[in-house]
Structures are given as C-alpha cells and as structure tokens.
Amino acid sequence: MFHRLRWQPVLLLAAVACCTLRADAQVPSANVGFAPAYAPPDTGAPAALPRYTIAQPPYGQTRIAGVPLYELEDTTPPQDVLYEPTPLERYLSAALKSMWFRTEYLLWDLDEPGDVALGSPVFAVDDPTQPFNIFVNNQQITVRVFDLEHVSLKDNNGIRGTLGVPLTFGTLELSAFGLEHTTQRHTPRDKDFGTMELGFPPGAVSQPTFFIATSTFTNGSILDETGLGTNLFLYDRFFQIDFDTDVWGAEANFVTDPYVPGDGFKWRPLLGFRFLRLRERLTQQGGLDIRDENNPDIVTATLVSTIDSEVRNLMFAPQVGLRLQWVAPWFTISFEPKVALGVNAKQTTVLADQIRGIGDPTVVTTIDRQNLAAIGELGVSARVRVTESIAAFISYQEIWMANVARAGTSIYYNDFGVGAPMTGITAKSDNQFYNMRGLSLGFEVRFP
C-alpha cells in the first residue's frame, strides 16, 4: 500500500510538466535559431506583400517540432540597386507627357471647272455651248455642245488630324486631311432635247428637234485643206456626264519655339514637307438612235458613245513658312503663310469608245509627266482655352496650286475622217491653276 502511494506524486508531477511543455510549443521562441519575420517600417502607405520563402534549419540539425516551415521574408531590393532610367528615356517620357492632338471638321470649296466646252471650237460659231443651227441631209436641226457649267464643287465635308510632339527647341507637327469623295451626274436641261416633231408635209417621218453634240477637229484643224469643217457627233436619245473628285494630303512641319516665352506677340519660323493628291474623273456618255433606212420611224439600234477622262496629281514639296501669333492667357490668334516648291507627278488617261459607229474600236491614251509644283497657303486661326488641357479651335485656309491637270481640259477632241481606222480623241497635257479654301472647327487636347 505504501509502495503504490509513493509513485502517485511522481506521476502527477510528470503529467503537469508535459502539459507545460506542450503549451509552450505553440509559440516559437525567438532563441530557437531562426530569424524572426521581417516587419516593414510604417510609412503610412500600404506595404507591398512580401514573398514566402522556405526557412530550412541549419545543416546538421533537425527541424524542431512546433516551428513553422514557412516564414514571411521581405525580398525587396534596397534603394541603391533599383533601376534608374537613362537620360533619353527621361526626355522621351517628358515629351510624351507634353504632346497634344487636334481634330477638325472641314467644310471646303474646291475650284470648279466652269463653262468648259466638251468639244473643240466649231467653225463659224462663236460659242458652241449655245444652241446653233446646222443642216443634216438637207434638213435644219438645232444643236449645242455640252459644258461643265453646272458642276459644283462647293461645301465638301472633310476631317483633319494634327499631332504635336514637343522637342528641344520647337514642336514637330504631323498633320493629315481628307475630303469626302464626291460624285455628281448632270444631264441637259434644254427643254427641247429628246422631243420629236412631226415632219412636213403631213405624213413625213417625225424628226428630233434638238441634239447635243461632241465637236472635234478634223485632222487637227478647225478647217482643213479640203474645206471640211468641224465634225459634230450627235446624240438624241440621251446624254449625261459623271464628275467625281477626291482630294487628300499630309504634311510634317517643325515649328520653332518663341524666342521669348510667355504672352504677347510671337513669331515662329517653320520648315517642313507636304504631300497633296488631287484626282478628277469625267465620264461623258451619249446615245444616238440608228434608224432603218427604209422606214426611219423604226429604231434598229442605239449607238452609245463614251469619252472618259481621269487625271491624278501627286505633289511632293518641301515648304517654309512663318507663324505669327498673339498669345494671351486664355486665347491665341495666329496668322500663317507657307510656300512650297516641289514636283507634281501627273498622269492623264483618256478613253474613247464607239464615237463614230458601233464598230468603232476603243482607244485609250495615257500621258505621264512631271512638272514644277508651286503651292501657296494662307491660314488664319483662333484657339480658345476651355480647360487646362482642352481648347476650342477655328480656322480659315486658302491653298493655291499651279500646274495642275484637270479632267475637263485634258481631252484632245480630234478625228481623222470617215476612212480612218479609229477616232483621234486622245489625252493631252494640261496645266491649270487650282484653288481650295474653307473653314475648319475642332478641339485640341493636351496631355497632362
């Protein structure tokens, strides 16, 4: 009995010791041999999440029960080894932050072709675009040569975008614009065209009273050595013209910074390069009824004649200019003249088909030529600042171009006679003066 009671206090003390050791093992001791978790300093901003790393015990030792295998450790490199941007990167970053972009709606007028006659001069007729009388098979009829008087090239919509990139002592401005591609059709407005009248005496066949005509030289002359005058190819069924135009361009300019920054009067020279593309196409089609020889009231076929003219002007030119400005805190007024001298690579193509008859072959001629391109521009603009980074913009521009090929004046109207194998209507070189002008409205955004 005494022997049994002697071991009970020993067992009780052993049980208490084991419970104490088990409770202490729940929290790792700072002296176990592992570094404590790194606590970043309190800077007031959310600290970056540290990475998890595996904490291995020293070599030759075993892992102590209760010590966690993973501990939080800050692996952020110190400030002295962080990446430093190069001077070029710092410069590009500052330039990109100072860039600006402007977009504008354009409402421009283009130079109209005017009352260009679609044919050659007519012998003994002052103005062939006005009705005049001729005799065909001993019968008098009224004809006139159609013209381009009713072709209107006003109020063309377009868009322009400009990007400005500040550089060391100026701004690089990249700009491009385009006008909508326009197509218009015109037909004769003469009240008698296409009408018929009864022949005289009663019972004779009816005849057209009015014709549209294409006039041509005869062997290059209004009156050749045989006494033959101008040829007239007549249309009584229908006549129409289709006129379309396409204009766009781009330019790059370096504009110097003002010598004295701030408000007031400024002058800023500029140097750049510009490109302009002007395309026109004129298609003429006319129909003539071919009648039966024995019964003229019966139409056996309709001769459809086509004359198609297309011109492309590609102008490349370096330019210089001067931007005069009055700068105020909330608005800027600018006056900007520019002059460009370069080359105009022109291409003129004329197609003539079935001019003299249904069996007449198709004749296509093309002329490629380079001429001096002289371009002048005058612009007036106003910029009103709405916010620190947004401004409204309005401008008016006039652009003049020399040595431009036009579709209506690039056709040589000629014929070699009935016995010739083909018509002589071909392309010809053309140099015209061209003007376009108009308003623009838009806004400008400056990047912070």
- The pLDDT tens digits for 251-298 are 999 999 998 888 999 999 999 999 999 999 999 999 988 887 777 778
Banded model confidence at residue 231, pLDDT cuts 50, 70, 90: confident
Mean pLDDT of the chain: 82
Q: In total, how many domains does the chain have? A: 1
Residues 398, 404, 409, 412: what is their CA dihedral angle, to the nearest 10 degrees? 180
Q: In this structure, what token pair is assigned to residue 240?
A: 């129409």
Given pLDDT bands bounded at 50, 70 and 90, which one contains residue 384?
Answer: very high
Residue 310 lies in a domain: yes
pLDDT tier, 86 (very low <50, low <70, confident <90, very high otherwise): confident
User: HEC profile for 259-305?
Assistant: CCCCCEEEEEEEEEEEEEEEEEEEEEEEEEEEECCCCCCCEEEEEEE
Given a cut of 80, whether residue 218 has pLDDT beyond it is: yes
Question: What are the beta bridge partners of residue 101?
Answer: 163, 445
Beta strands in 32-181 (DSSP E): 51-54, 70-73, 100-110, 132-136, 139-145, 156-166, 170-179
Q: Looking at the domain assignment, is residue 279 inside a domain?
A: yes
Residue 216: inside a domain = yes
Amino acid (1-letter code) at residue 299? V
Least confident segment among 63-72, 117-126, 250-259, 357-366: 63-72
Structural domain boundaries, residue 362? 96-446
* pLDDT in the model for residue 24: 44
- Rounded distance between C-alpha atoms, residue 269 and residue 254, angstroms: 9
How many whole angstroms separate alpha carbon 256 and alpha carbon 169?
6
CB atoms under 10 Å from CB of 446, counted, come to 17
Name the token pair of 220. Answer: 């290059």
Q: Which residues pair with 438 in a beta bridge?
A: 108, 397
The pLDDT, as a whole number, for residue 5 is: 43
Least confident among 27-41, 113-127, 160-174: 27-41
In a domain, 228, yes or no: yes
Is residue 42, in this structure, part of any structural domain at all?
no
**Top-ranked range on mean pLDDT: pick from 28-42, 189-203, 250-264:** 250-264
Assigned domain for 410 exists: yes
C-alpha to C-alpha distance for 196 and 290, rounded to whole angstroms:
15
Torsion sign across C-alpha atoms 7, 9, 11, 14:
negative
pLDDT for the residue 117: 95
Residues facing residue 373 across a β-bridge: 342
pLDDT at 80: 52
Tell me, yes or no, whether 224 lies in a domain: yes
Is 282 part of a structural domain of the chain? yes
Identity of the amino acid at 223 = L
Asked whether 339 and 379 are in contact (CB, 8 A), the reply is no
* DSSP assignment string, 13-65: HHHHHHHHHHHHTTS--TTSSSPPPP-----SSPPPPPEEEE-PPPTT-PPPT
Q: Cα dihedral angle (256, 261, 266, 272), rounded to 10 degrees?
A: 10
| 159: pLDDT strictly greater than 90 | yes
**Across-strand partners of 332?**
327, 383
| R_g of the chain computed on alpha carbons | 43
Residue 60: predicted pLDDT: 54
3 state SS of 90? helix
**Span 322-355, pLDDT tens digits:** 999 999 999 999 999 999 999 999 999 999 999 9
Query: In the structure, what pLDDT confidence band is assigned to residue 58 with cuts at 50, 70 and 90?
Result: low
Percent of the chain with pLDDT over 70: 74
Question: Which residue, among 134, 108, 145, 123, has the nearest Cα to 229 in the 3D structure?
Answer: 123
Region 28-46 average pLDDT: 47
Q: Rounded to 5 degrees, what angle do the CA atoms 421, 425, 431 make?
A: 150
- Dist. CA 355–CA 422, nearest whole Å: 9
Are 160 and 173 contacting, i.e. CB atoms less than 8 angstroms apart?
A: no
Whose tokens are 């998890």? That residue is: 52
